Amino acid sequence: MPPPPPSPPSAAASSSSRAATATSAAAAAAPGAAALGPAAVPGSSGPPRAAAEAGPNRPGGGPGFALSEDQELLREQVRRFAEERIRPGVQERDRDHRFPVEIVAEMGELGLLGMLVAEEHGGAGADLLTYLLAVEELARVCPAMAVTMSVSNSVCCWPIGRFGGEALKRRALPELAGGALGAFGLTEPGAGSDAGSLRTAARRDGDSWVLSGEKAWISNAGFARWYVVVARTDPAAGKRGLTAFAVPAEAPGFAVGEPEAKLGLRASQTAPIYFDECRVPADHVLGEPGQGFKIALATLDHSRLGIAAQSVGIHQRALELAIAYARERVQFGVPIVRHQAIRFRIAQMATELQAARLLTWRAALAAAAAAADDIEGGHGAPGAAAGGGAAKHVAGEAGRLAAEAKVFASEAANRACQESLQIHGGNGFHDDYEISRLYRDVRVTTIYEGTSEMQRLVIARQLLQR
């Protein structure tokens, strides 16, 4: 167990002092979180090996995988960066709804914004698990910065790298790997979970496509350099009439609306985007015209793991804060951690954290296996598994595991933040305490990248093969 925190503050202490004490105590619950120095993201050396060793040496532990040396190094580097460069001022940025461009620039310098970009295009070429480790460590300190990084990697860099033509990849990916942000435009005011009903339209005009319409709830909007956008190109073809495009921010006819006033993730900017006869080159199509819906689904399967990892990071921190506060808070003459009711809550939080992390890692391995099968058989059309029925089964299982990881980890993290806030009592209801921010930040994890209800539909459809 981590060392005991400092003595509890007196009743006369300010709420800021009490919050600082709790934060310091919680930091002690995470060994290795203090020694820091930015360094480049190391290259990946493959997926983890199944082993009997313990996982992360923090409250809640980790699943029985042994990470490679590069993965352990990456995790330590990102943890130190998050503690030293992101944690200072995190509460103030949340209060002021301020997007920290300076911190995003540092993440770009570290290579975190190009983790899923191939080395040939200037990225880290990291494997999926290594990337998820980085997302978790960022989310443990600031979920808003974790989603900023995850969106750019998972739903912009990845689909461009996977489905874009060579000219587009040479144009966009070096910029994204070098620190430019990306975004993803699928949701519309009238099309959320029912992505097939979107109304943004695109028509071919010579050597260009012209887009008209709007998208809603776009993370990184206004700061992103590239947007992956799905639009309707054949109104009569239903879901088969959708096409995916890579739209640069300077495209004529493209505009960003006012930022949304959100419940949580306030240091991450979210805004609508508009297309008024927005013209993009024909070679900015991802895949082929008509493949947009399948590309969107493949992208969401991939990006859900980023949200699962974000949820695990939030869960980890909620547990640390609960332990630290329970040790310092005295009621009935003893620290409340001595009371069985509190111990049971902490035990349940830790157990669900183990399960969430293990499921997320397992889903990452399945996604890597599906990607390897895809590469061996040639890319082909999105959703068309190379190698026949066996490859389709691998891809289907990977999608199901991603949905399972997302729904379980996000719901477990919501429960953990609720329990941690309950352990904090009245103090947890105060903005000076970190758990109040996490309680707001975690709520969206069961909504974006597919609601919990949609994840259960995906799981059931794959299990029942319909």
116-to-119, 296, 351 alpha-carbon distances in Å: 9, 17, 30
Say yes or no to pLDDT of 38 above 70.
no
The one-character DSSP state at 446 is G
Q: What was the pLDDT predicted at 40?
A: 44
Between 227-236, 378-387, 400-409, the lowest mean confidence (pLDDT) is in 378-387
Does residue 58 or residue 183 have the better pLDDT? 183
**Structure tokens, 192:** 């959320």
For 182-286, the fitting CATH number among 2.40.110.10, 2.40.50.140, 3.40.50.300, 1.10.150.120 is 2.40.110.10
The Cα-based distances of 306 to 102, 135, 271, 382, 389 in angstroms read 23, 7, 21, 20, 28
The mean pLDDT value for 395-415 works out to: 95
Give me the residue spans of the domains in the chain: 27-177, 182-286, 296-464
C-alpha 365: how far from its chain's center? 17
What is the percent of the chain where pLDDT is above 90? 77
| 27-177: CATH number | 1.10.540.10
Which segment of 5-19, 292-306, 416-430 scores lowest on mean pLDDT? 5-19
**Fold annotation for 296-464:** Butyryl-CoA Dehydrogenase, subunit A; domain 3 (1.20.140)
User: Residue 36 pLDDT more than 90?
Assistant: no
State the pLDDT confidence band at 245, using cuts at 50, 70 and 90.
very high
Q: If you search the block for the tokens 């891809």, which residue do you land on?
A: 395
pLDDT score of 65:
67
395 pLDDT tier (thresholds 50, 70, 90): confident
Q: Strand, coil or helix: what is 256? A: strand
Quick check: 41 and 124 in contact, CB under 8 A? yes
pLDDT above 60 for 56: no
Query: What's the whole-number mean pLDDT along residues 404-412?
Result: 98
Flag whether the pTM goes above 0.75. Answer: yes
pLDDT, tens digit (0-9, with 9 covering 90-100), for 82-128: 999 999 999 999 999 999 999 999 999 999 999 999 999 999 999 99
Structure tokens at 342: 């509190």
Helices (H) and strands (E) in the chain, counts: 13, 12
Contact assessment for residue 409 and residue 305, using Cβ atoms and an 8 Å cutoff: no
Per-residue pLDDT reduced to its tens digit, 162-221: 999 999 999 999 999 999 999 999 999 999 889 889 999 999 999 999 999 999 999 999
* Apex 88 CA angle, 82 and 89, nearest 5: 120
pLDDT band for 66, please (50, 70, 90 cuts): confident
Range name among 182-196, 312-326, 330-344, 435-449 with the lowest pLDDT average: 182-196
- Checking if the pLDDT of 425 tops 80, the result is yes
Q: Give the DSSP H or E segment for 305.
A: helix 292-328
Backbone angles phi, psi at 276, to 5 degrees: -115, 90
Position 13 scores a pLDDT of 37
Instruction: Write out the two tokens for 88.
Output: 């200072």
**Spatial separation of the C-alpha atoms in residues 315 and 420, rounded to whole Å:** 9
Tell me the average pLDDT of the chain.
87
Residue 237 has pLDDT above 70, yes or no: yes
End-to-end CA distance of the chain, in Å? Answer: 47
Phi, psi angle pair for 192, to nearest 5°? -105, -95
pLDDT at 459 over 80: yes
Q: Amino acid identity of 314? A: I
pLDDT at residue 148 above 70?
A: yes
Q: Mind telling me the catalytic residues?
A: 449
In this prediction, residue 236 carries a pLDDT of 94
